[in-house]
Structure 1
Amino acid sequence: MTNVDVLAAGVLKAGTLDGLPNGHFVDGAFTPSTHNKTLESYDPGRGEAFASFAAGSAEDVNQAVESSKRAFETVWRDTAPAERGRTLMKAAELIRANLHRLAIAESLDSGKPLQEALGDVGGAARTFEYYAGACDKLQGDSFPLAGDYIGYSIHEPVGVTAHIIPWNFPISTAARGFAPALAAGCTVVAKPAEQTPFTALMLAKILSDAGLPDGVCNVITGLGAETGAPLTLHPDVDHITFTGSVQTGRTVMKAAAEDITRVVLELGGKSPVIVLNDANRDEALAGVMGAIYENAGQICSAGSRLVIERGMHAGFVEELVKRAESLRIGHGLTRPDLGPVNSAAHLDKVAGFVERARAGGATIATGGSVTTDPETGKGWFYQPTIIDNASPKDEAVREEIFGPVLTVQIADDAEHALALANDCQYGLVAGIYTQDFGKAHQLARRIDAGQIYINEYFAGGIEVPFGGNKKSGFGREKGIEGLKSYCKTKSIAARIA
């Protein structure tokens, strides 16, 4: 066993991880809630509470925002870009130094398999490394005016930024928001999901240890109504980055409208994976499996709709069923192929979609039932499920299930596949499998989505901008586009003669 697996086994035996953060992180230190209330955090692999955390209030939020505003105005805004870069690079080093502990906390809190959590933490380190290198390269433009004039632009930090972090990728989403905001010279107030509070708190402490001044990154934990809502409504918040459901995204937009606060919204998805007859079959099979069963399908950009050309359909789905049925289900810390869903409420939601599909006559090719960890009989698990030959009108095809449930739609040809792919209220990502490179790029241009993967689902990295169209939201994270989200452009023109 590797060192991380030995540590994970000990945590699994103890039922908790020692030394988890206690309190909010404000002004460079852990502080209790003003009301001294706590909430329990649950291990989805067992369906049992394993730790408690601070239940914040509007008063806690106000203290955090005031702290971040003060730090922005007195310290961080005017810190030299190169110095900001050194701090973020040190944070990347510390994240890697704490890789095992962060990954175990992430797996225990979210339920995801340990190997996926290790990848997420590594990706978080890479995110800080990437934006550390961008701090002193955020350049403006000069404008070609007449000879008696000079014109140029500069990028300025927007100010205090609020980050509402989802439960499916806690440390990844925190990093892709924190790092560019801090690189641009903004300060951060974050509210992680109440289901997964710990790695955001641990990340804030790591940033402090890396030399980030007090107040530049604050984290408040608690329920959405008691902490998230006051944060999005706070008049001293200059920007909101939200990742979550469409319904909550609407609420965030309405709150932002009160003070004309800037927003970036990364919302739902129902992403298609197009497989054409000439695709490399083995590559496509592996891609489709990963697209829907990674993190038990709890990914905004999951490839939850297989749109497959008719000639490939029967044998491809038959093999998918075999592979799905061979997946090992288990607690995240045991490195299973498929971990649990995040909560009992979410398990009921996923099951409800499949039950309604079954009642409507859908063909359930495999799965379709709630289950448990076969070793313990505990946890919130759902079988890997495939709904074959689904209609574009089916609820399971049109709505985001956010679980290990794949719907299959049959296309007559590439044009039909394109029409099926675009027949959706969401437009986050799409995948294409074909050996005809010209056809792949033609489809990529015509699919209405923010990001397209060709012959490898989830291709790319922090360098590639990410965000959606239609009801998947707007604005971009990752890449230089993500950095610009935290900047306001100022244009300057002067007569010089």
Structure 2
Amino acid sequence: MASSYENFVNGQWVESETNATFEVRNPARTDELVGEYQDSSLADVEAAVEAAADAQDDWAGTPGPERGDLLKRAGTLLEQRKDETTEALVREEGKTRAEAAGEVQRAIDIFAYYGQKTRDLGGTVKSASGRNTELTTRQEPLGTVALVTPWNYPIAIPAWKLAPALAAGNTAVVKPASEAPGMARVLFECLEEAGLPDGVANLVTGSGSDVGRPLVEHQAIDGVSFTGSTAVGTQVAQTVTDDLKRVQCEMGGKNPTVVMPSADVNEAVEIVGQGAFGTTGQSCTAASRAIVHDQIYDEFVDTMVEYAESVDIGPGLDDPDMGPHVSESELQSTLEYVEIGRDEGATLETGGERLTDGEYADGYYVEPAVFSDVDNEMRIAQEEIFGPVLAVIRADDFEDALSLANDVDYGLSASIVTQDTTEANEFLDRIEAGVAKVNEKTTGLELHVPFGGYKNSSTNTYREQGDAGLDFFTTTKTIYRNY
């Protein structure tokens, strides 16, 4: 029998005042109930925000290195639970074992990184214009923050929001996505065991309408960090900025990989295939467009079809190349986009069918799809699909390829495969994306450098991760001291 898990509010694991729960099932085997979580309400949000606000002054007054030591202890505790957490992530979200293990390790590393960064917090010393005057700046926490996280990286993204928020002296309320809330729970169990003071961080599960909306709208919230769809993120940003509060939203992507004639086609296919079909395409940085020079277009398509048809699909615990979609609705969305591509006149070279036989019968499986003859104005070339669907677009030359790459409403991640250094440098200079790569897949990010997008991929306010993560969660006070 699956466990029922509670909210974490003011240092206690508590049931929702609704006495209602929702189920989370294994997307590889939907007959397996993974857990039941609190279907919370406004009253639960109020209690969590009140606890966080009450704890804020004491936490902000805690020395930075002391806050950092707690984060490092939590990371060590998570490392001790890595194997069980990896398996739980696979069962809840559907990732392959290798993908899940990498994500858990990232969360461990994030806590270690920000645990150490607390020793660098402080400010600057400037030269004053007058005599007998000290002029300095000081970093101070925003206050109480709301962290709204998605299901596709259910432990890494909560970690890279929560760790810098706590490191900087903020208190927080976390609302994880309902498809995979268990990983945030594991983080909180580690923080509790590490000695987290009551109220400093709080976890409330439930729907976006019943929990997410009242959380970001709450008057005691001083800042909001959100990761999710562009549609919801835009609403969050507009709501929060109406109250002149700080907001950070990382949203969708329609990420291109440009492939030029100097590239090794097999290497290019490997780069694109990993970016397109890794994590079942359920990544905001996934490569959903391959923009390929006319000279090698046909060879690339043929080789890409071979690659897609060789992808091993199965339950994540078996560690295949690709696992299931996280939910029925996500699977259906991908299948609908396959039909849209066909209707628009693109050629479906392979894949795009739901798998239902044998071990696939009770899961949300789909074959990776490759479309050729795609025009950049088609919906499958313009809209985020969030599934393993690759649109291969023909380009006449480098200038045409760059124009096609930039001709979307998103600008999150982009890459080029080329041996021509001039093309590579031109691409890096002119691509409209927050992350630009040469001879690498569009997915995969270092934790100590800024992450964020251009255009509709971001609110274009603050970046996440690295020092930029601390920038969002701190404000600057300028101090004049005349002696």
One-letter code of the match for 1:317? V
Of 60, 75, 92, which aligns to 2:75?
A: 92
Superposed counterparts of 1:45-64, under 5 Å:
45-48=28-31, 49-64=33-48
Of 17, 24, 28, which aligns to 2:11?
A: 28
Q: What is residue 123 of structure 1 aligned with on the other side? A: 106
- For 1:193-231, what per-residue CA distance to the aligned partner results, in whole angstroms no more than 9, with x for missing partners? 111111101111101111221211111001111111110
SS at match of 1:39: strand
Q: What is residue 212 of structure 1 aligned with on the other side? A: 196
Q: Is 2:275 the partner of 1:291?
A: yes
One-letter code of the match for 1:491? T
Of 487, 490, 495, which aligns to 2:474?
A: 487
- For 1:389-410, what per-residue CA distance to the aligned partner results, in whole angstroms no more than 9, with x for missing partners? 2101100000001100000111
SS at match of 1:128: helix
- For 1:235-272, what per-residue CA distance to the aligned partner results, in whole angstroms no more than 9, with x for missing partners? 11111110111111122123213422211100000011
Q: What is residue 441 of structure 1 aligned with on the other side? A: 425
One-letter code of the match for 2:375? S
Distance in 1 of aligned mates of 2:44 and 2:276: 38
SS at match of 1:435: coil
Distance in 2 of aligned mates of 1:334 and 1:490: 53
- For 1:112-169, what per-residue CA distance to the aligned partner results, in whole angstroms no more than 9, with x for missing partners? 1111001000010011111111101024222333242332211101011111110111
Superposed counterparts of 1:228-243, under 5 Å:
228-243=212-227
Q: What is residue 468 of structure 1 aligned with on the other side? A: 453
One-letter code of the match for 2:410? Y
Distance in 2 of aligned mates of 1:310 and 1:394: 19
Superposed counterparts of 1:343-492, under 5 Å:
343-372=327-356, 374-457=358-441, 458-473=443-458, 474=460, 475-492=462-479
Q: What is residue 63 of structure 2 aligned with on the other side? A: 80
Q: CA deviation at 1:437?
A: 2.8
Q: CA deviation at 1:456?
A: 1.6
SS at match of 2:5: coil
The answer as to whether partners of 2:147 and 2:225 remain within 8 angstroms in 1 is yes
Root mean square deviation of aligned Cα: 1.5
Distance in 2 of aligned mates of 1:258 and 1:37: 33
Q: Which moved more, 1:196-205 or 1:20-29?
A: 20-29
One-letter code of the match for 2:277? Y
One-letter code of the match for 1:63? A
One-letter code of the match for 1:461? E
The answer as to whether partners of 1:330 and 1:374 remain within 8 angstroms in 2 is no
- For 1:321-364, what per-residue CA distance to the aligned partner results, in whole angstroms no more than 9, with x for missing partners? 11111111111121121111111111111111110211222100
SS at match of 2:105: helix
Q: CA deviation at 1:374?
A: 4.0
The answer as to whether partners of 2:93 and 2:180 remain within 8 angstroms in 1 is yes
Q: Is 2:238 the partner of 1:254?
A: yes
One-letter code of the match for 2:72? M
Of 169, 183, 187, which aligns to 1:199?
A: 183
The answer as to whether partners of 2:415 and 2:438 remain within 8 angstroms in 1 is yes
**Structure 1 437/214 Cα, relative in aligned 2: closer, same or farther at 3 Å?**
farther
**Structure 1 459/329 Cα, relative in aligned 2: closer, same or farther at 3 Å?**
closer
The answer as to whether partners of 1:56 and 1:227 remain within 8 angstroms in 2 is yes
After TM superposition, the score normalised by the length of structure 2 is 0.96
**Structure 1 294/128 Cα, relative in aligned 2: closer, same or farther at 3 Å?**
same
Distance in 1 of aligned mates of 2:180 and 2:97: 15
Q: CA deviation at 1:466?
A: 0.4
Of 67, 71, 93, which aligns to 1:110?
A: 93
- For 1:67-121, what per-residue CA distance to the aligned partner results, in whole angstroms no more than 9, with x for missing partners? 1111112x21011111111111111111111001111111111111111001000
Q: CA deviation at 1:431?
A: 1.0
SS at match of 1:199: helix
The answer as to whether partners of 1:373 and 1:381 remain within 8 angstroms in 2 is no
The gaps in structure 1 that reach 5 residues or longer are 1-15
Q: Which moved more, 1:145-154 or 1:195-204?
A: 145-154
One-letter code of the match for 2:289? R
SS at match of 1:181: helix
One-letter code of the match for 1:144? S
How much identity, in percent, do the aligned residues show?
38
The gaps in structure 2 that reach 5 residues or longer are none
SS at match of 1:490: strand
SS at match of 1:141: strand
Distance in 2 of aligned mates of 1:453 and 1:478: 18
The answer as to whether partners of 1:373 and 1:379 remain within 8 angstroms in 2 is no
The answer as to whether partners of 1:21 and 1:30 remain within 8 angstroms in 2 is no
Q: List structure 1 segments (4+ residues) > 4 angstroms apart after TM superposition.
A: none
Q: CA deviation at 1:287?
A: 1.2
SS at match of 1:178: helix
**Structure 1 466/21 Cα, relative in aligned 2: closer, same or farther at 3 Å?**
farther
Of 287, 309, 313, which aligns to 1:303?
A: 287
After TM superposition, the score normalised by the length of structure 1 is 0.93
SS at match of 2:287: coil
Distance in 2 of aligned mates of 1:438 and 1:206: 49
SS at match of 2:158: helix
Q: What is residue 158 of structure 1 aligned with on the other side? A: 142
The answer as to whether partners of 1:164 and 1:192 remain within 8 angstroms in 2 is yes
The answer as to whether partners of 2:412 and 2:434 remain within 8 angstroms in 1 is yes
The answer as to whether partners of 2:266 and 2:303 remain within 8 angstroms in 1 is no
The answer as to whether partners of 2:463 and 2:472 remain within 8 angstroms in 1 is yes
